[in-house]
Amino acid sequence: HFFKAAQLAHLEIELTASLGKRTKFQRKSLPQLKLETNLSTVESQAKPQVIPLDKDSVLLEDGIHFDDAQHNNPDHQTPAQTPDQIALRQAIVLALCLDVKNSNPEKEGLTAQEMRAYVDAACASAQNWMVFSTAILIKCRLEASSAYSADRAALQLEVLVSQHSTMCTKEQDARLNKDDAPVQERIKFLSVLDYPAIWEAKSELAYAMMNLGALVSAAEQFAQISQWDDVVECYAAAGRRSEALKVLESQDKNPNLLCVLAEIQDESQYFETAWQDSRYRCARAARGLGRFHARAKNWQLAAEWFAKALAVAPHAPATWFDTGIAHMRLALVKEDPEHSWREAARCFSRAASQEPDDADSWANLAAVLIQVRDLKPAASALDAAIRLRPDDWRLWKMLQEDP
């Protein structure tokens, strides 16, 4: 449907490559992914504020600098494009950008590079406040995963959130400045854009602050949209135990808040209450009880509670790992440890399959497979662990001792 919309709007796009530079210190131009379109590059006056990169960032301010310096294809220019036509075509480009995300693995680096080409083409000119804001928002999400631009992404999100509620009516048009737009301009293309509501935007900003370690600021943002579970989590992670408890006392205790209270006060009874109140569906409560019993060296109860947590939420590599540890401990004290070793191997295998970059899961899997004399799969698991952590002398010692 997106390509049909592009055809009806006479939008011509071509994903190609062009020589360009990505960083300040890059001397030689290298092939970079680029989207050529027939969009006009004439800008309107009203657009959201764009936050610059830090001065010490190695990235270039405007992204990739292409040698030809143009996103539009001069051979396919469409004459007499009105601002609304251009804005509509930009909205279609952004829809195609999200289609790239939906059609490819999200963690694949090439997916982000391809999406960035679409966003850069849409950002080449600002024709409508909402369309440009959506392009900047997608750009923020792409930049948030990079250590070089995560700070700028969070600041840009903060600007978008602050401008989200800066509404202007027709009677206020005379007092508009260059960065403002009247409400009729902001909602003109809202139905064709994937732009979040104010509470969703604030939530996204708060999570970005959490990732940067600004936990108190994140808690304040969460408090504005009444996400009290996350407020308590932020205060607890920031070491502000009294403030976390104050929020907990003022709120009705749902299972998630009971789990946070149990973690703060290290009381298993709150985990048990959360497990019962959730009708035995709160995996966090079961995990908490499992870890509580593991700290008390009660490995049998720990394994049972971890199993209950995995029955509710099986895609949890950390819980599979903890369960494997519990079965390893049980195998060391049982007279017939074969079943516990096998269970530990199964748990570590699930943990490694769900988190292939975790060297500890592969190493423990190799160790328990050696115990049950499955030497060929043990060697494969040990090789995977060594590839991930080649400087760990314990792995090399295990390889040397492997019969």
Q: Which comes out higher in pLDDT, residue 24 or 224? A: 224
Percent of the chain at pLDDT > 90 equals: 37
Place of tokens 């508009």: 176
**Residues 72 and 41: beta-carbon distance below 8 Å:** yes
- Interval 284-307 mean pLDDT: 95
- Interval 341-353 mean pLDDT: 95
Q: Determine the distance from the C-alpha atom of residue 143 to the mean position of all C-alpha atoms in its chain, rounded to a whole number.
A: 11
What six digits make up the tokens of 106? 């999200």
What six digits make up the tokens of 400? 């040397």
Q: Quick one: pLDDT at residue 108?
A: 58
Q: Quick one: pLDDT at residue 329?
A: 94
Task: Indicate if the pLDDT at residue 169 is higher than 50.
Answer: no
Distance, CA of 290 to CA of 296 (rounded, Å): 10
Task: Indicate if the pLDDT at residue 27 is higher than 70.
Answer: no
Q: Quick one: pLDDT at residue 249?
A: 86
Distance, CA of 174 to CA of 169 (rounded, Å): 10
Task: Indicate if the pLDDT at residue 252 is higher than 90.
Answer: no
Task: Indicate if the pLDDT at residue 62 is higher than 70.
Answer: no
- Interval 369-385 mean pLDDT: 91
Distance, CA of 250 to CA of 135 (rounded, Å): 39
Q: Quick one: pLDDT at residue 180?
A: 60
Residue 265, number of CB atoms within 10 A of its CB: 13
Note the pLDDT tens digit of each residue in 121-158: 888 776 788 888 888 898 888 888 877 778 888 888 88
Task: List the one residue out of 165, 173, 207, 60 whose CA is nearest residue 120.
Answer: 60
Task: Indicate if the pLDDT at residue 45 is higher than 80.
Answer: no
Q: Quick one: pLDDT at residue 168?
A: 47
Q: Quick one: pLDDT at residue 170?
A: 47
Task: Indicate if the pLDDT at residue 14 is higher than 80.
Answer: no
Q: Quick one: pLDDT at residue 171?
A: 45
Q: How confident is the model at residue 69 (pLDDT cuts 50, 70, 90)?
A: low
* Range with the poorest average pLDDT among 65-69, 203-207, 208-212, 218-222: 65-69
Q: Quick one: pLDDT at residue 364?
A: 94
Q: Quick one: pLDDT at residue 9?
A: 77
Residue 66 phi/psi, 5° resolution? -85, 150
- Find the radius of gyration of the CA atoms of the chain: 27
Task: Indicate if the pLDDT at residue 74 is higher than 70.
Answer: no
Percent of the chain at pLDDT > 70 equals: 81
Task: Indicate if the pLDDT at residue 182 is higher than 50.
Answer: yes
Longest alpha-carbon distance in the chain: 85
Q: How confident is the model at residue 73 (pLDDT cuts 50, 70, 90)?
A: low
* Range with the poorest average pLDDT among 45-54, 95-104, 242-251, 312-321: 45-54
Residue 327 phi/psi, 5° resolution? -70, -35
Distance, CA of 242 to CA of 159 (rounded, Å): 31
Task: Indicate if the pLDDT at residue 309 is higher than 80.
Answer: yes
Q: Quick one: pLDDT at residue 48?
A: 60
Q: Determine the distance from the C-alpha atom of residue 60 to the mean position of all C-alpha atoms in its chain, rounded to a whole number.
A: 23
Q: Quick one: pLDDT at residue 343?
A: 95
Q: Quick one: pLDDT at residue 393?
A: 87
The three-point CA angle 312-314-317 to 5° equals: 135
pTM as predicted: 0.71
Distance, CA of 248 to CA of 234 (rounded, Å): 13
Q: Which comes out higher in pLDDT, residue 182 or 55? A: 182
70: DSSP letter: -
* Range with the poorest average pLDDT among 55-59, 121-125, 194-198, 264-268: 55-59
Task: Indicate if the pLDDT at residue 196 is higher than 50.
Answer: yes
Task: Indicate if the pLDDT at residue 282 is higher than 50.
Answer: yes
